Every structure is written in C-alpha cells, then in structure tokens.
Amino acid sequence: MKPASRLSLLKPSPIRAITDGTPQGAIPLGLGEPTWDLPEVGRRALLRAPGPCAYVPHVGLLDLRKAVAAFHGAHVDEVLITTGSQGALFSLFQAWVDPGTKVLVPDPGFVAYPALALMAGAEPVPYRLSADRFRLDADELIRVLEATPDVSVVILNLPSNPTGGGGSLEALKRVADACVARGVLLISDEVYRDLHFGTRCPSLRDVTDRGVVTSSVSKGWGAPGLRVGWAVGDPAWLLPARTVHGYAVTGTATPAQWAALALIEHSDTVLAEARAAVGARWEALAGALREELGQTVAPPDGTFYHFMALPEAAHADPVAFCLKLRDEAKVVLIPGLAFGEGGRRHARLSFAATPEQLREGVKRLAPYWKN
C-alpha cells in the first residue's frame, strides 16, 4: 500500500529535521506557542460547560460566533468557528483552490501555506517580503499577481510568522483592491495580530469586507491546545468552507468553545497580560543580545519571533548551522530557510520561552556569531 499520490508533493519540513532529535538539556527557542499558563477564566470555563456534552452546529456555538463577530466588528453570519485557524485555512483552501491553479504565499512564510496549496492540487507561488524588516511589500505582491495566471487565492500574514514583520494600511488596501479586481480570494491570517509592541498591525477588515480573515485563540489568548479558531468574511465565501470543515471534523470540541468564549469575553485583560508576558520576554532577549553580541535590535511589529540574521558563513548551509547550534550549543533555532528561500540568511528565534531560557540561550549562541 502507498499513501495517496498528492502527499508525495509534500517535502519533509526542515523544522522537523531540527526539532526531531533535540538533545536533552537543549533550550527550545524554536517553539511556536505561548509558554505561559492558560488564563484562569478559560480554565474555569472548561469545567463549567453546561448540560450534555452534545454536538454543536457545524458553524460553531452561537454565543462564541457572536463574541468573535463583536471582536472583529462583523455580523454573526460572517463567522465560522473552526478547529484552530489551521482548520479554517484547510477548509478555505479545499473550498476555493481548484487543482491546477496558483496560490500566492509569502516567502518567508508559515510552512502550512504551500503544503495546503499542494494538498488542494495547486501550485504555491512565493512573493517576497520587503528587504527591510520583512514587511508586506504591495509593489512586489502585485507584480507577482500580475505576472501569474490562474491565481485562486492570495494569502497574507500580518504580523508574520516567521519574521514578525507587519505592513501598512496603504499596502494592505492596494493588495486588497488588486485581488478584488482580479476576482481572487484574499485570505488574511491575523493569528498574531494582538501580540504587538504598541501598534497593532492593520486588519484586512480595515480596508475591505471582500476577503476572509482567519484567527484563533492560540496565540494572543494563550490557548493553542483548545484548537479553537475562526474565519470571518462574506457568508458566500464561508459556506463551502463550512461544508468541508463539517465533513472533516463535524465541529470544534464543545468545552473548548466555551473556554474560548470566556477568553474572548475577557479579551481586554487576557490580551493585555499576554502582551506584558511577551514584552518582558522581549526585554530579556534584547538585553541578552546587547550584552552578549553587541547587537541593538528593534522589536518586531508583532508575534513572539525574532528573525535573527545569521553569520555570513552560515548562508550556504543554514540547516547544518542550526543543527550544529542544536547539538553543540544546545539551543534550538529554526533556520529561516524552512520558511522559504527568502529566509536563507536568518533563523527564527521564538521569545515565547522564559526570560531565563532566553538569557542562557543567547549566552550559548554568542560564540557562534563571534567566530
């Protein structure tokens, strides 16, 4: 027996090459998840879920949809609850990406985008981010869009995993207008938007209602294990995705939806506390980089990722360099190349780790940058 041929298109991720086989005692700065506790309101709601533990409507609990709609300034009919934002992305791709079409993905960008395009039978076409700080570059994206026939979907991610770069309202508007003019579905992955350092990145909903926003409680609300996410957009875009999601998983776990509701109802405090936790970690990282490496770095536009420039000697084989860091220095960083060719000269350092881990991690890394 052989797995379905569509899977043969998926290459093993270099992330696994780094994280599988992590030696004991290594400091995990490759993580893509919060390390602080689930906020208490969410924990209590998990235990309080009322009545029988029944199936819920495929589209999600009405109260949760109302809360998500209010958070995004949308109508309740514009909200589909999914199993994490990954469930939203998978369902939207299966619903709107025809085999043989092209999907425009950021480079560097979240590894799932090209994989989801390939699983839908499409070809991922990379567009580069700006050279300064890896932000959305509207000129470049529109150039790639105009040069590419048969585009079904364009995906944005502000602020970006892995770079932390955002983009301006004007850039977002130009891209949205170009996609509307081409009749292409624009999906804006805003899962990190509330983890910012003073200024929140613009949302696609600030410039158009003709596109779909995806997000979840996984990052800002600190609850990736709940697996609760959503898509927000025109019900006409959501309906086919809802069919896919329904057949794939029926719906998102009911207790998890109640917990997500409690977290969103307490967004003001939960998100402020998360930003404080991330801010303290950023201070620890920035201080360590200054002391150990003499580097002065600005915080990202959002996320808990520092896209760290690699020493020149590592550019030819950044995966080997990161494996050496893992096995000798015992610090796990993800090579930027894992996120696309545009990330070759950088590595993703997650500062979701504790301040102590960050200080010790940078101390261990320093000799590899100095020599």
Ligand X SMILES: Cc1ncc(COP(=O)(O)O)c(C=O)c1O
* Smallest separation, CB 195 to ligand X (Å): 11
Query: Nearer Cβ to ligand X, position 32 or 165?
Result: 32
* Smallest separation, CB 251 to ligand X (Å): 15
Query: Nearer Cβ to ligand X, position 192 or 364?
Result: 192
- In angstroms, the CA 206 to CA 218 distance is 22
**By CB under 6 A, residue 188 contacts ligand X:** no
**CB 312, CB 4: distance < 8 Å:** no
Q: Which residue is nearest to ligand X (CB)?
A: 84
Query: Nearer Cβ to ligand X, position 32 or 222?
Result: 32
Helix (H) or strand (E) holding 44: helix 40-48
* Smallest separation, CB 146 to ligand X (Å): 25
Q: What is the DSSP letter of 21?
A: T
Binding mask 141-160 for ligand X (x = CB under 6 A): ----------------x---
**CB 113, CB 106: distance < 8 Å:** yes
* Smallest separation, CB 33 to ligand X (Å): 7
**By CB under 6 A, residue 224 contacts ligand X:** yes
**By CB under 6 A, residue 86 contacts ligand X:** yes
- In angstroms, the CA 368 to CA 364 distance is 8
Query: Nearer Cβ to ligand X, position 191 or 262?
Result: 191
**By CB under 6 A, residue 191 contacts ligand X:** yes
Which of the ranges 79-87, 94-102, 245-253, 336-344 carries the binding residues for ligand X, by CB under 6 A? 79-87
Q: Residues 90, 93, 96, 110: which binds ligand X (CB under 6 A)?
A: 110
CA-based radius of gyration for the chain: 20
**CB 123, CB 173: distance < 8 Å:** no
- In angstroms, the CA 83 to CA 42 distance is 17
* Smallest separation, CB 81 to ligand X (Å): 12
Query: Nearer Cβ to ligand X, position 162 or 288?
Result: 162
Which of the ranges 64-72, 80-88, 127-135, 245-253 carries the binding residues for ligand X, by CB under 6 A? 80-88
Give helix 254-265 / helix 62-72 axis angle, nearest 10°: 40
* Smallest separation, CB 11 to ligand X (Å): 19
Query: Nearer Cβ to ligand X, position 18 or 329?
Result: 18
Helix (H, G, I), strand (E, B) or coil at 309: strand
Q: Which residue in 213, 221, 303 sits closest to 256, CA to CA? A: 221
Interface of this chain with ligand X, residues 29 to 48, rule: CB under 6 A:
32
Torsion of CA 356, 332, 228, 88, to 10 degrees: 150
* Smallest separation, CB 311 to ligand X (Å): 26
**By CB under 6 A, residue 257 contacts ligand X:** no
- Strand boundaries in the chain, DSSP class E: 27-28, 79-82, 102-107, 123-128, 151-157, 185-189, 212-216, 229-232, 305-309, 331-332, 334-335, 346-350
- In angstroms, the CA 187 to CA 164 distance is 18
- In angstroms, the CA 235 to CA 231 distance is 10
**By CB under 6 A, residue 216 contacts ligand X:** yes
- In angstroms, the CA 299 to CA 296 distance is 10
* Smallest separation, CB 296 to ligand X (Å): 27
Query: Nearer Cβ to ligand X, position 101 or 161?
Result: 161
List residues near ligand X by CB under 6 A.
Answer: 32, 84-86, 110, 157, 161, 189, 191, 216, 218, 224, 229
